[in-house]
Amino acid sequence: MSLNGIFALFGFPEDGKNSKETKKMRDELDEFKKTPYFKLGMFYKLIMNGQTFKKQVLNFFSKADPSLNMGGIDDAGEFMMFTRAFFWVEEFKFRSKVWKEDLKKHSTDEFLVAVKLSMHYFEGTEEYEKCAHLKKIQVLVEKNLKEQEIRDYLK
């Protein structure tokens, strides 16, 4: 069985890491990573997966050493998660049609939860500029959800 053959089934080139086709795929992926759609998705994934990961890490450390102070680990994990997630949306351009259209594609109740969790965290750390930025995103998501609800109702 050939690994190259298996990966070729998923669209990966068989001719090695330095081929023109591989370079083209890497370039396309790099371009995609610059899009608002990707950045909004990363924000959402970091928050939602971060909550699950945090629970797993705390559970692991509490079983490994019950005398360990979980508060410090929890605080450091939250700081890293929320700060990194905000990195992906901090350049949200509210007047940009592309950003707004891509936000529509991400506008779900779960995405709204991620925004609210982030706002709650930054309120606790008194980073109100970040809260204000996230609040504007929240308003747009809620508007998008309301519009979708109306469209669904009219169908």
**Per residue in 41-82, pLDDT tens?**
999 999 999 877 777 777 777 787 777 766 677 787 888 899
Q: How confident is the model at residue 15 (pLDDT cuts 50, 70, 90)?
A: low
Q: What is the pLDDT of residue 41?
A: 97
pLDDT in tens, 97-119: 999 999 999 999 999 999 999 99
Q: Cβ distance 47 to 118 under 8 Å? A: yes
Q: What is the pLDDT of residue 144?
A: 96
Q: In whole numbers, what is the pLDDT of the chain averaged over residues?
A: 87
Over range 32-36, report the average pLDDT: 95
Quote the CA–CA distance of 16 and 12 in Å, as a whole number: 9
Whether the per-residue pLDDT at 3 is higher than 60: the answer is no
End-to-end CA distance of the chain: 50
Crossing angle, helix 97-106 and helix 128-154, to 10 degrees? 70
Other Cβ atoms within 10 Å of 77 Cβ, number: 17
Q: What is the pLDDT of residue 100?
A: 97
